[in-house]
Amino acid sequence: MKVTVKVPATSANLGPGFDCLGIALPLYNEITVEETVMPGSGIEINIIDESDSYDILSIPKDENNLAYKAIELLYNFIGQTASDLKITIKTNIPVARGLGSSASVIVGGLVAANELLSKPADKALLLSIASEVEGHPDNVAPALFGGFCLSSLEEDGSVSYSKIEWPKNWKLTVLIPDYELDTKIARSVLPESIPIKDCAYNIRKSAMIIDAIYRKDSEMMKKAMKDKLHQPYREKLINGFKELNEFLANKDDILGCVISGAGPTILIVSENNGFEKVQNEIKQIFEDLNVSCDIRTYEAENEGTLVI
Active-site residues, by number, are 134, 183
Q: Tell me which DSSP letter residue 304 carries.
A: -
Q: Which residues contact 82 (CB under 8 A, 6 or more apart)?
A: 43, 68, 71, 72, 74, 75, 76, 113
Strand partners, 11: 23
Question: Which residue in 143, 107, 142, 139 sits closest to 126, CA to CA?
Answer: 107
Amino acid at 129: I
Helix or strand run (H / E) with residue 7: strand 2-12
User: Cα angle at 153 between 121 and 225, to 5 degrees?
Assistant: 125
Phi, psi of 38 (to 5 degrees): -95, 115
- Measure the CA–CA gap between 102 and 93, rounded to whole angstroms: 9
Spell 107-117 as b/e; 16+ CB within 10 A means b: bbbbbbbbbbb
